[in-house]
Structure 1
Amino acid sequence: MWTFKYIMMNKTAQIKKNHQLIKFRKLVIVSILIGFLSAFLGISLKKITEYYEEIFFHEVSVNPFFYILFPVFGLSVIYFLRQYLFKKKENKGIKEVFESTKTTKNLPSYKIPSHFINGLLTVIFGGSTGIEVSTVVATATIGSVAHEKENVFRQYKTELICAGVAAGVTALFSSPIAGILFAFEVISRKVTRAFIISNVIAVSIAFGLLTILKEEPLFAVSIATWHLKAIPYFILLGILAGINSVYLTKCVLFFKSQFSKIERHYYKILIGSVVLSVSLFFFPQLYGEGYHAIKGIFGTSSQTQLTITLGLTFIAILILKPIVTSITLASGGDGGVFAPSLFIGAFLGLLLASVLNSFFNVNVIPVNFMIIGMAAVLSASIHAPFTAIFLVCGLTNDYTLFLPILVVCLISKYTAKKIYPYTVYSYSPSLIK
């Protein structure tokens, strides 16, 4: 009798062990697939956007008439695609991913082409935002669709969505650590064994694909060193970055709220187009993602002499960028606050460094302030300091400024949280009722 029980217990244990092994193998295989598809989508969207944005930006530089034509054309095409191709549904950005991970609701597969196409059209026709959020939602959808394919994956819904997101962020910013940290800090906020396995595999595949394609860092800058005497000014930069990020967040929430009251969508398109056209005409730096403008000021930062005109231009850009970004999104554009945060941080850092050098003879290094500013505003905008650190270090492929970036990102995040506790991702009207 005891022998029979012992044999049965052994068989049960063996069956459980085999079942766990099968689940592990399937999780590995699906993570590889998600990693490849998400990375391929992210790299494709980035390359296509860079290519066409450069062409169209050159066209508007040669013929200013396109400043009027491009925004209204881009927003109109996106509207008609949503009406007649993508089930008449608005894209809600990363909030869609939150809804999916917290409820039984799944991300429908049409979100992949919807965010891919609409994100691309928004940016290349001048919409003052970036493709990062479009990539995040599209790659999250890849993970969501994968989890529905087999019953064994049902319990790993959040993990597989995060794997897609992590691979997509890795593809955009060449930083696997930033990919995993974003998935953890912003989406999941908890770590399980399945999360580690699926996300590590997905970002490894994504980074491997980047290596094969020999992707270069987005910003090729030379960072020599940083000095302890600059720490008080770094702290000041962190506080200013926190304030600027709150301004960006409140602008997005305010304009989305106001535009939601406009019943006819074409009025939204017309208002958005007019604001975009006028802003881009006077400040071409606001066109699209704005990475061309960041590269431009990186190249001239060491020779920048602050004049009244230049100072006012920088201030106008810092005031206008959140407004133009918000109106781009509120009038139907697809995107988020990633690229705008990096843009604002770069200009804020250069402005502060220029003021310190011109009026106080401090002799700080402008390029350091630009890089730290980029990370600080992003950290405060999405409340994810460690994502911002590794993401910006990945963008420059340089970790020289790791320590000051860490300090400033924490300062900017907690400054922003003290002033306003929500981000564009976490805010909901019900929270303030």
Structure 2
Amino acid sequence: MNKTAQIKKNHQFIVFRKLVIVSVLIGFLSAFLGISLKKITEYYEEIFFHQVTVNPIFYVLFPVFGLSVIYFLRQYLFKKKENKGIKEVFESTNSSSKNLPSYKIPSHFINGLLTVIFGGSTGIEVSTVVATATIGSVAQQKENVFRKYKTELICAGVAAGITALFSSPIAGILFAVEVISRKVTRAFIITNVIAVSIAFGLLSILKEEHLFTVSITTWHLKAIPYFILLGILAGINSVYLTRCVLFFKSQFGKIQTHYYKILIGSVILSVSLFVFPQLYGEGYHSIKMIFGNSGELPLTLTLALTFIGILILKPIVTSVTLASGGDGGVFAPSLFIGSFLGLLVASILNTFFNTQVIPVNFMIIGMAAVLSASIHAPFTAIFLVCGLTNDYTLFFPILAVCLISKYTAKMIYPYTVYTYSPSFIK
């Protein structure tokens, strides 16, 4: 081997070693951030939700207080910059000059937490994604050798963060591929596999439990036509969610005085939460409740109207939360909408058509289907929902329904909240 080849080989080994080390650091820090935000949010959301059930006046006070605190933090602590969500990550990966500034880590962590615990009808997933992407972005700025691996290191942070939230390393990597990177390189595989392995290892050490504990026994071939119906309905609902977010952001964007946005948003949020407390925060507490009672809920007119009201209002209150200054995205709302949609469809089929389908199966498939259609990432949705329940019994029906829901949504409206730009034809 000549001297030039030896030097090149040594350089490649040094780069590989540095990539491994930085991927371990990104994986640990991103997972630690994701787990911390999840645990803190769960703890305080439970406390505050209990308070509003005891004293309904907090339905009025919490939203306006939370949105006001977020506004003042942005004004006086976080450089007066609006959070753009995952679009910030796209801007960074698509540009060699734009980087995610380090203040995005505490900004999204704190604002995501405050949004959810004070009743904002969204989740911490997008806050986690942007914060962990920033960890990767800051890491790649530290050494010149990492500059050409910018997208890979940002994706490593994102993948580790998703792994921490949903206990699914495969979902973490697939989200990074389907939504952020759109391509796979050797460096991508190295950095992301290491990062999610570290994240999953930390989850194992901390003995983190899966978000939902459900008992899935089987599924029947006779249910396939009904699964297809659910996929189509999930696609339609996801478009409704996307259009709501875009519409309310556009309308609130016309309001010049920011505090008017907060007041209008708080009024809409407070009234909606008072009528349907299930809309409070992430809504995972409501999903857990209906998981536990799904087989025992007879479909009455009141219950059907409640489900329909929730499905109509959830996209609106999510949109208003985001448009009036809250920090979050469509991950948790999609899972929430999918679970209630699945249960409603199963209940109608069993009550009026005596199909004897399994409601819990429809809830789980519905969660994956709406998420798939909302972010146009079916494989992420499949492994994410299977990771949430720690059960792969429904893998094949989920796969089919996720593809149906995604392409139904794309036929109706080709954009997601991540890919839409005002410059596109509406």
1:23-422 residue pairs with structure 2 within 5 A? 23-103=15-95, 104-422=97-415
**Runs (5+) with no aligned partner, structure 2:** none
Post-superposition, which runs of at least 4 consecutive aligned residues in structure 1 deviate over 4 A?
none
Measured in 2, the distance between the counterparts of 1:227 and 1:362 equals: 11
| Offset at residue 142 of structure 1 (A) | 0.2
Q: Deviations over 1:184-218 (max 9, x none)?
A: 00000000000000000000000000000001110
Measured in 2, the distance between the counterparts of 1:24 and 1:205 equals: 17
**Residue 432 of structure 1 aligns to a residue in which SS?**
coil
Give the TM-score taking structure 2 as reference length.
0.99
| Offset at residue 429 of structure 1 (A) | 1.0
| Offset at residue 431 of structure 1 (A) | 1.8
Measured in 2, the distance between the counterparts of 1:43 and 1:82 equals: 24
| Offset at residue 11 of structure 1 (A) | 0.5
Measured in 2, the distance between the counterparts of 1:106 and 1:277 equals: 37
Measured in 2, the distance between the counterparts of 1:419 and 1:166 equals: 30
Measured in 1, the distance between the counterparts of 2:147 and 2:408 equals: 39
Q: Deviations over 1:93-112 (max 9, x none)?
A: 00000000001200000000
Measured in 1, the distance between the counterparts of 2:237 and 2:370 equals: 7
One-letter code aligned to 2:77: L
Partner in structure 2 of residue 3 of structure 1: none
Q: Deviations over 1:354-393 (max 9, x none)?
A: 0000000000000000000000000000000000000000
Match of 1:428 among 401, 421, 426: 421
Measured in 1, the distance between the counterparts of 2:195 and 2:357 equals: 40
Two-structure CA RMSD over aligned residues (Å) = 0.6
**Residue 399 of structure 1 aligns to a residue in which SS?**
coil
One-letter code aligned to 2:171: A
Measured in 1, the distance between the counterparts of 2:73 and 2:289 equals: 34
Measured in 2, the distance between the counterparts of 1:75 and 1:36 equals: 31
**Runs (5+) with no aligned partner, structure 1:** 1-8
Overall identity of the aligned pairs, in %: 89
One-letter code aligned to 1:99: E
Higher-Rg structure is: 1
| Offset at residue 432 of structure 1 (A) | 1.4
Measured in 1, the distance between the counterparts of 2:102 and 2:208 equals: 28
**Residue 424 of structure 2 aligns to a residue in which SS?**
helix
One-letter code aligned to 2:67: L
One-letter code aligned to 1:195: F
Measured in 1, the distance between the counterparts of 2:273 and 2:181 equals: 37
Measured in 2, the distance between the counterparts of 1:223 and 1:217 equals: 14
Measured in 1, the distance between the counterparts of 2:229 and 2:72 equals: 46
| Offset at residue 21 of structure 1 (A) | 0.2
**Residue 195 of structure 1 aligns to a residue in which SS?**
helix
Partner in structure 2 of residue 21 of structure 1: 13
Partner in structure 2 of residue 5 of structure 1: none
Q: Deviations over 1:16-48 (max 9, x none)?
A: 000000000000000000000000000000000
Q: Deviations over 1:37-62 (max 9, x none)?
A: 00000000000000000000000000
| Offset at residue 430 of structure 1 (A) | 1.1
Q: Deviations over 1:93-151 (max 9, x none)?
A: 00000000001200000000000000000000000000000000000000000000000
One-letter code aligned to 2:232: I
Q: How many residues align?
A: 425
**Residue 213 of structure 2 aligns to a residue in which SS?**
coil
